[in-house]
Amino acid sequence: MKYLLLIHLDEATQPGPDDLKQYVALADDLKAKGQWIAGVRLEPSSTAKTLRKGEITDGPFAEAREQLGGFYLVDVPTLAEAQAVAARIPVARRGTIEVRPLMATP
């Protein structure tokens, strides 16, 4: 089953060298297991545009202490395994990882 792991964090905090090594190690491990589909770090929310009721505005859709900073898209057999992958994302110690299953398409 495919899961989207949405990484929410305070943009003011930057990943340290150890975090970067852990991100690379996690991606390499998921690729080796055939569980990696995609993953990317996003530009700051100040670069975002939001479309609401037909009108485009600058910035994220809502004021928040944490912003969407990136995501992983993985293919693992169970929700428990998706949560285990989420726990390995370095920012999980100081941010929020939202684990969402992708809806099956006909």
Q: Domain of 12: which CATH number?
A: 3.30.70.1060
Number of domains the chain is built from: 1
Residues 79 and 61: their CA atoms lie apart, in Å, by: 28
In a domain, 85, yes or no: yes
Structural domain harbouring 44: 2-101
Q: Assess if residue 29 is contained within a domain.
A: yes
* Residue-level pLDDT at 63: 56
Within its chain, how far is the Cα of 50 from the centroid?
Answer: 19
Q: Is 59 helix (H, G, I), strand (E, B) or coil?
A: coil
Tokens of 36: 């990696």
Which pair of structure tokens corresponds to residue 89? 């994302």
Cα of first residue to Cα of last residue in the chain, in angstroms, is 14
Instruction: Walk along the chain (106 residues) in steps of 10 and give the mean pLDDT of each run.
Output: 94 83 95 97 88 76 74 96 96 90 87
106 is a domain residue: no
Kindly report the pTM of this predicted structure.
0.85
